[in-house]
Amino acid sequence: MADAISITYLSGPDVEALALDDAEILAAIEASLVAQGQGGTVVEPRMHLMPGDGVNGHFNVLRGVVRAKDEGWAYAGVKVVGDFVDNYKQGLPSEMAMLNLFDPQTGIPKAVIDATAITEMRTGALTAIGAKHLAPSKPRVLGHIGARGTAYWNVRLLDRLFDFEEIRVHSRRKESREPFAERLSADLGKPVRATEDWESCLDGADILVEASRLNEPTPLFKSGWIKPGALVIPYGTMSTLELDVLDGIDKVVVDDRGQMRAGPFGALRPHINAGLIDEDGVHAELGEICAGAKPGRERAEETILFWHRGLPTSDIALGAALLRKAAEKGVGMTLPFA
Protein backbone atom coordinates (compact mmCIF):
# COMPACT_ATOMS: atom_id res chain seq x y z
CA MET A 1 0.00 0.00 0.00
CA ALA A 2 1.29 3.46 -0.86
CA ASP A 3 2.44 5.69 1.97
CA ALA A 4 0.10 8.41 3.18
CA ILE A 5 0.42 11.66 1.25
CA SER A 6 0.83 14.98 3.04
CA ILE A 7 1.40 18.52 1.85
CA THR A 8 3.29 21.46 3.32
CA TYR A 9 1.31 24.65 3.87
CA LEU A 10 3.19 27.94 4.14
CA SER A 11 1.07 30.95 5.09
CA GLY A 12 1.92 34.58 4.51
CA PRO A 13 3.35 34.90 8.04
CA ASP A 14 5.41 31.74 7.42
CA VAL A 15 6.87 33.22 4.24
CA GLU A 16 7.64 36.43 6.12
CA ALA A 17 9.32 34.51 8.94
CA LEU A 18 11.52 32.60 6.49
CA ALA A 19 12.81 35.97 5.21
CA LEU A 20 14.61 35.03 2.02
CA ASP A 21 17.40 37.56 1.64
CA ASP A 22 18.36 39.37 -1.56
CA ALA A 23 21.10 36.90 -2.45
CA GLU A 24 18.80 33.88 -1.93
CA ILE A 25 16.08 35.43 -4.10
CA LEU A 26 18.43 36.32 -6.94
CA ALA A 27 20.16 32.92 -6.83
CA ALA A 28 16.86 31.02 -7.00
CA ILE A 29 15.56 33.03 -9.94
CA GLU A 30 18.81 32.88 -11.89
CA ALA A 31 18.98 29.10 -11.37
CA SER A 32 15.49 28.77 -12.85
CA LEU A 33 16.51 30.92 -15.81
CA VAL A 34 19.59 28.78 -16.42
CA ALA A 35 17.36 25.69 -16.31
CA GLN A 36 15.07 27.34 -18.86
CA GLY A 37 18.00 28.14 -21.13
CA GLN A 38 19.18 24.52 -20.88
CA GLY A 39 15.78 23.10 -21.78
CA GLY A 40 14.90 21.99 -18.25
CA THR A 41 11.59 23.82 -17.94
CA VAL A 42 8.08 23.84 -19.31
CA VAL A 43 6.53 27.31 -19.57
CA GLU A 44 2.85 27.52 -20.39
CA PRO A 45 1.71 31.02 -21.39
CA ARG A 46 -0.39 32.57 -18.66
CA MET A 47 -4.16 32.42 -18.85
CA HIS A 48 -6.55 35.16 -17.76
CA LEU A 49 -9.79 34.55 -15.90
CA MET A 50 -12.08 37.56 -16.15
CA PRO A 51 -14.69 37.65 -13.33
CA GLY A 52 -17.07 39.91 -15.26
CA ASP A 53 -19.90 41.87 -13.63
CA GLY A 54 -18.02 45.12 -14.17
CA VAL A 55 -15.17 44.15 -11.84
CA ASN A 56 -11.95 46.08 -12.54
CA GLY A 57 -9.60 43.14 -12.26
CA HIS A 58 -8.77 39.64 -13.36
CA PHE A 59 -6.97 36.46 -12.32
CA ASN A 60 -3.67 35.39 -13.88
CA VAL A 61 -3.12 31.63 -14.00
CA LEU A 62 0.53 30.62 -14.46
CA ARG A 63 1.64 27.03 -15.09
CA GLY A 64 5.06 25.49 -15.46
CA VAL A 65 7.66 22.87 -14.57
CA VAL A 66 11.26 23.29 -13.40
CA ARG A 67 13.79 20.47 -13.30
CA ALA A 68 16.83 22.01 -11.62
CA LYS A 69 19.15 19.08 -12.20
CA ASP A 70 22.22 20.86 -10.84
CA GLU A 71 20.40 21.49 -7.56
CA GLY A 72 18.59 18.15 -7.38
CA TRP A 73 14.96 19.21 -7.27
CA ALA A 74 11.98 19.31 -9.59
CA TYR A 75 8.46 20.69 -9.25
CA ALA A 76 5.45 21.39 -11.37
CA GLY A 77 3.53 24.44 -10.24
CA VAL A 78 0.34 26.40 -10.76
CA LYS A 79 -0.05 29.91 -9.38
CA VAL A 80 -3.28 31.88 -9.34
CA VAL A 81 -2.87 35.59 -8.68
CA GLY A 82 -5.63 38.14 -8.51
CA ASP A 83 -4.89 41.51 -10.09
CA PHE A 84 -7.57 43.95 -8.89
CA VAL A 85 -6.59 47.56 -9.50
CA ASP A 86 -9.18 49.20 -7.23
CA ASN A 87 -8.44 47.13 -4.12
CA TYR A 88 -6.59 50.07 -2.55
CA LYS A 89 -10.00 51.74 -2.04
CA GLN A 90 -10.81 48.93 0.42
CA GLY A 91 -7.37 48.91 2.03
CA LEU A 92 -6.49 45.66 0.27
CA PRO A 93 -3.42 44.70 -1.81
CA SER A 94 -4.06 44.78 -5.54
CA GLU A 95 -2.33 41.41 -5.95
CA MET A 96 -2.84 38.29 -3.80
CA ALA A 97 -1.72 34.84 -4.87
CA MET A 98 -1.54 31.12 -4.10
CA LEU A 99 1.05 28.67 -5.43
CA ASN A 100 0.45 24.91 -5.66
CA LEU A 101 3.48 22.65 -6.14
CA PHE A 102 3.42 19.06 -7.41
CA ASP A 103 5.83 16.21 -8.15
CA PRO A 104 6.18 16.39 -11.96
CA GLN A 105 6.80 12.63 -12.22
CA THR A 106 3.72 11.44 -10.31
CA GLY A 107 1.44 14.46 -9.94
CA ILE A 108 1.49 14.10 -6.15
CA PRO A 109 0.66 17.44 -4.45
CA LYS A 110 3.61 18.71 -2.43
CA ALA A 111 2.82 22.20 -1.14
CA VAL A 112 0.41 25.11 -0.96
CA ILE A 113 2.10 28.46 -0.42
CA ASP A 114 0.86 32.02 0.02
CA ALA A 115 2.50 33.46 -3.09
CA THR A 116 1.70 37.15 -2.66
CA ALA A 117 5.21 37.98 -1.49
CA ILE A 118 6.67 35.46 -3.96
CA THR A 119 5.00 37.38 -6.81
CA GLU A 120 6.58 40.62 -5.66
CA MET A 121 10.04 39.18 -5.03
CA ARG A 122 10.30 37.09 -8.18
CA THR A 123 9.23 39.98 -10.40
CA GLY A 124 11.85 42.25 -8.89
CA ALA A 125 14.47 39.54 -9.23
CA LEU A 126 13.65 38.97 -12.90
CA THR A 127 13.98 42.71 -13.51
CA ALA A 128 17.33 42.76 -11.71
CA ILE A 129 18.78 39.69 -13.42
CA GLY A 130 17.69 41.06 -16.79
CA ALA A 131 19.58 44.24 -15.95
CA LYS A 132 22.61 42.24 -14.78
CA HIS A 133 23.02 40.90 -18.32
CA LEU A 134 21.60 43.79 -20.35
CA ALA A 135 22.26 47.09 -18.56
CA PRO A 136 25.00 49.51 -19.55
CA SER A 137 28.23 49.27 -17.63
CA LYS A 138 28.02 51.14 -14.31
CA PRO A 139 24.54 52.66 -14.70
CA ARG A 140 24.19 55.79 -12.56
CA VAL A 141 20.51 56.73 -12.78
CA LEU A 142 17.40 54.56 -12.28
CA GLY A 143 13.98 55.86 -13.31
CA HIS A 144 11.04 53.76 -12.07
CA ILE A 145 7.33 54.15 -12.80
CA GLY A 146 4.92 52.43 -10.40
CA ALA A 147 4.70 51.90 -6.65
CA ARG A 148 2.94 48.52 -6.30
CA GLY A 149 4.46 45.59 -4.41
CA THR A 150 6.66 44.38 -7.25
CA ALA A 151 8.05 47.91 -7.67
CA TYR A 152 9.73 47.83 -4.27
CA TRP A 153 11.66 44.69 -5.16
CA ASN A 154 12.59 46.08 -8.58
CA VAL A 155 14.30 49.07 -6.99
CA ARG A 156 15.76 47.19 -4.04
CA LEU A 157 17.34 44.40 -6.08
CA LEU A 158 18.50 46.67 -8.89
CA ASP A 159 20.23 48.92 -6.37
CA ARG A 160 21.84 45.89 -4.74
CA LEU A 161 23.48 45.10 -8.08
CA PHE A 162 24.36 48.63 -9.21
CA ASP A 163 24.38 51.00 -6.18
CA PHE A 164 22.87 53.90 -8.17
CA GLU A 165 23.90 57.50 -7.67
CA GLU A 166 20.34 58.66 -8.37
CA ILE A 167 16.98 56.90 -8.02
CA ARG A 168 13.75 58.51 -9.23
CA VAL A 169 10.28 57.03 -8.74
CA HIS A 170 6.82 58.08 -9.84
CA SER A 171 3.23 56.86 -9.59
CA ARG A 172 0.01 58.67 -10.40
CA ARG A 173 -1.13 58.97 -6.78
CA LYS A 174 0.91 61.29 -4.56
CA GLU A 175 -0.27 59.36 -1.51
CA SER A 176 1.47 56.25 -2.84
CA ARG A 177 4.60 57.63 -4.51
CA GLU A 178 5.85 59.71 -1.59
CA PRO A 179 5.61 56.94 1.05
CA PHE A 180 7.15 54.59 -1.54
CA ALA A 181 10.16 56.88 -1.95
CA GLU A 182 10.45 57.31 1.82
CA ARG A 183 10.40 53.55 2.42
CA LEU A 184 13.06 52.97 -0.21
CA SER A 185 15.21 55.79 1.14
CA ALA A 186 15.10 54.25 4.60
CA ASP A 187 15.76 50.69 3.43
CA LEU A 188 18.49 51.55 0.89
CA GLY A 189 20.19 54.21 3.02
CA LYS A 190 20.23 56.77 0.22
CA PRO A 191 17.92 59.47 -1.19
CA VAL A 192 15.11 58.28 -3.46
CA ARG A 193 13.22 61.10 -5.18
CA ALA A 194 9.51 60.98 -5.94
CA THR A 195 8.87 62.93 -9.14
CA GLU A 196 5.71 64.76 -10.21
CA ASP A 197 5.50 63.25 -13.70
CA TRP A 198 6.76 60.53 -16.03
CA GLU A 199 9.21 62.71 -17.92
CA SER A 200 11.15 63.92 -14.88
CA CYS A 201 11.34 60.31 -13.69
CA LEU A 202 12.47 58.61 -16.90
CA ASP A 203 14.14 61.15 -19.17
CA GLY A 204 17.83 60.34 -19.60
CA ALA A 205 17.97 57.52 -17.05
CA ASP A 206 20.38 54.62 -17.65
CA ILE A 207 17.74 52.04 -16.66
CA LEU A 208 14.05 52.85 -17.22
CA VAL A 209 11.50 50.54 -15.56
CA GLU A 210 7.76 50.81 -16.15
CA ALA A 211 5.42 48.92 -13.79
CA SER A 212 2.35 51.11 -14.03
CA ARG A 213 -1.31 50.34 -13.27
CA LEU A 214 -3.39 51.63 -16.20
CA ASN A 215 -6.93 50.64 -17.12
CA GLU A 216 -6.22 50.75 -20.86
CA PRO A 217 -3.22 51.14 -23.17
CA THR A 218 -1.99 54.75 -23.07
CA PRO A 219 1.31 55.94 -24.64
CA LEU A 220 2.63 57.84 -21.61
CA PHE A 221 6.21 56.51 -22.01
CA LYS A 222 7.79 58.74 -24.67
CA SER A 223 10.40 57.25 -26.96
CA GLY A 224 12.42 60.47 -26.87
CA TRP A 225 13.27 59.98 -23.20
CA ILE A 226 15.34 56.87 -23.98
CA LYS A 227 18.98 57.79 -24.47
CA PRO A 228 21.34 55.66 -26.59
CA GLY A 229 22.80 52.80 -24.59
CA ALA A 230 19.96 52.67 -22.05
CA LEU A 231 18.04 49.61 -20.86
CA VAL A 232 14.22 49.81 -20.97
CA ILE A 233 12.19 47.33 -18.88
CA PRO A 234 8.42 47.76 -19.36
CA TYR A 235 6.06 45.22 -17.83
CA GLY A 236 2.82 46.99 -16.96
CA THR A 237 -0.30 44.99 -17.81
CA MET A 238 -1.41 47.72 -20.19
CA SER A 239 1.08 49.10 -22.70
CA THR A 240 2.42 52.59 -22.10
CA LEU A 241 4.86 52.63 -25.02
CA GLU A 242 4.57 54.68 -28.18
CA LEU A 243 4.37 52.65 -31.38
CA ASP A 244 7.65 54.08 -32.65
CA VAL A 245 9.64 52.97 -29.60
CA LEU A 246 11.19 50.03 -31.46
CA ASP A 247 12.74 52.38 -34.02
CA GLY A 248 15.38 53.28 -31.45
CA ILE A 249 15.86 49.81 -29.94
CA ASP A 250 18.81 47.69 -31.07
CA LYS A 251 17.89 44.50 -29.25
CA VAL A 252 14.66 43.08 -27.78
CA VAL A 253 14.89 40.39 -25.10
CA VAL A 254 11.87 38.61 -23.58
CA ASP A 255 11.35 36.18 -20.72
CA ASP A 256 9.45 33.71 -22.94
CA ARG A 257 8.62 33.85 -26.63
CA GLY A 258 5.47 31.78 -26.12
CA GLN A 259 3.91 34.53 -24.05
CA MET A 260 4.18 36.88 -27.01
CA ARG A 261 1.39 34.82 -28.59
CA ALA A 262 -0.90 34.74 -25.56
CA GLY A 263 -3.51 37.13 -24.23
CA PRO A 264 -4.42 40.76 -24.86
CA PHE A 265 -2.05 42.34 -22.35
CA GLY A 266 1.57 43.46 -22.16
CA ALA A 267 3.95 46.26 -23.06
CA LEU A 268 4.53 45.19 -26.68
CA ARG A 269 1.02 43.89 -27.41
CA PRO A 270 0.12 46.91 -29.62
CA HIS A 271 3.40 46.50 -31.50
CA ILE A 272 2.76 42.79 -32.10
CA ASN A 273 -0.79 43.52 -33.24
CA ALA A 274 0.51 46.18 -35.64
CA GLY A 275 3.07 43.77 -37.13
CA LEU A 276 6.02 45.80 -35.83
CA ILE A 277 7.65 42.84 -34.06
CA ASP A 278 7.25 39.08 -33.93
CA GLU A 279 9.15 36.19 -32.39
CA ASP A 280 11.76 36.32 -35.16
CA GLY A 281 12.51 39.90 -34.17
CA VAL A 282 13.45 38.89 -30.62
CA HIS A 283 17.17 38.57 -29.93
CA ALA A 284 16.84 36.03 -27.11
CA GLU A 285 14.96 34.82 -24.09
CA LEU A 286 16.66 35.85 -20.86
CA GLY A 287 17.15 32.19 -19.96
CA GLU A 288 19.20 31.64 -23.11
CA ILE A 289 21.45 34.51 -22.05
CA CYS A 290 21.77 33.25 -18.45
CA ALA A 291 22.69 29.78 -19.75
CA GLY A 292 25.34 31.23 -22.08
CA ALA A 293 23.55 30.19 -25.28
CA LYS A 294 23.04 33.78 -26.48
CA PRO A 295 24.95 36.98 -25.72
CA GLY A 296 23.49 39.73 -23.58
CA ARG A 297 24.75 43.28 -24.03
CA GLU A 298 27.53 43.34 -26.60
CA ARG A 299 28.19 47.06 -27.10
CA ALA A 300 28.10 50.09 -24.82
CA GLU A 301 25.94 52.03 -27.28
CA GLU A 302 23.30 49.29 -27.64
CA THR A 303 19.83 50.37 -26.59
CA ILE A 304 18.02 47.31 -25.26
CA LEU A 305 14.40 46.59 -24.34
CA PHE A 306 13.67 43.71 -21.96
CA TRP A 307 9.98 42.78 -21.83
CA HIS A 308 8.98 40.34 -19.13
CA ARG A 309 5.47 39.18 -18.39
CA GLY A 310 6.33 36.90 -15.48
CA LEU A 311 7.37 33.26 -15.53
CA PRO A 312 5.72 30.43 -13.60
CA THR A 313 9.19 28.94 -13.29
CA SER A 314 10.22 31.93 -11.16
CA ASP A 315 7.35 31.28 -8.75
CA ILE A 316 8.26 27.59 -8.61
CA ALA A 317 11.93 28.37 -7.92
CA LEU A 318 11.12 30.67 -5.01
CA GLY A 319 8.56 28.18 -3.73
CA ALA A 320 11.24 25.49 -3.78
CA ALA A 321 13.68 27.77 -1.95
CA LEU A 322 11.06 28.51 0.71
CA LEU A 323 10.28 24.80 1.17
CA ARG A 324 13.96 23.98 1.68
CA LYS A 325 14.37 26.76 4.23
CA ALA A 326 11.11 25.85 5.95
CA ALA A 327 12.30 22.25 6.39
CA GLU A 328 15.56 23.50 7.93
CA LYS A 329 13.82 25.87 10.35
CA GLY A 330 10.71 23.85 11.15
CA VAL A 331 8.35 26.49 9.74
CA GLY A 332 4.92 25.76 8.25
CA MET A 333 2.23 23.12 8.68
CA THR A 334 2.05 19.56 7.41
CA LEU A 335 -1.47 18.72 6.28
CA PRO A 336 -2.86 15.27 5.38
CA PHE A 337 -3.90 14.89 1.77
CA ALA A 338 -4.54 11.19 1.23
Every domain of the chain with CATH number 3.40.50.720 lies at: 125-310
Whole-number pLDDT of residue 93? 84
Mention every residue, 6+ apart, whose C-beta is less than 8 A from residue 127: 153, 154, 157, 158, 209, 233, 235, 308
HSE-up of 77 (CA within 13 Å, CB side)? 31
Q: Which CATH superfamily is domain 125-310 in?
A: NAD(P)-binding Rossmann-like Domain (3.40.50.720)
Cα 175 off chain centre by: 24
DSSP state of 31: H
For the chain, residues classed under CATH 3.30.1780.10 are 6-118+313-336
3-state secondary structure of 117: helix
Tell me the CB-side half-sphere exposure of residue 58, using CA atoms within 13 A. 13
Q: Provide the pLDDT for residue 2.
A: 63
Please choose, from the candidates 136, 169, 135, 166, the residue with its C-alpha nearest in 3D space to the C-alpha of residue 150.
169
Comparing C-alpha atoms, which of 237, 222, 218, 229 is closest to residue 94?
237
For 6-118+313-336, CATH number?
Answer: 3.30.1780.10
pLDDT for residue 311: 92
Q: Which residues of the chain have pLDDT under 70?
A: 1-2
Q: Which pLDDT score, from 0 to 100, does residue 173 have?
A: 86
The Cβ-side half-sphere exposure at 261, using a 13 Å CA radius, reads 8
Sheet holding 251-254, edge to edge: 193-194, 166-170, 141-145, 207-210, 231-234, 304-307, 251-254, 284-285
Residue 1, pLDDT score: 43
Q: What is the CA radius of gyration of the chain?
A: 19
193: β partners: 168
pTM (2 d.p.): 0.90
Give the per-residue pLDDT at 237. Answer: 84
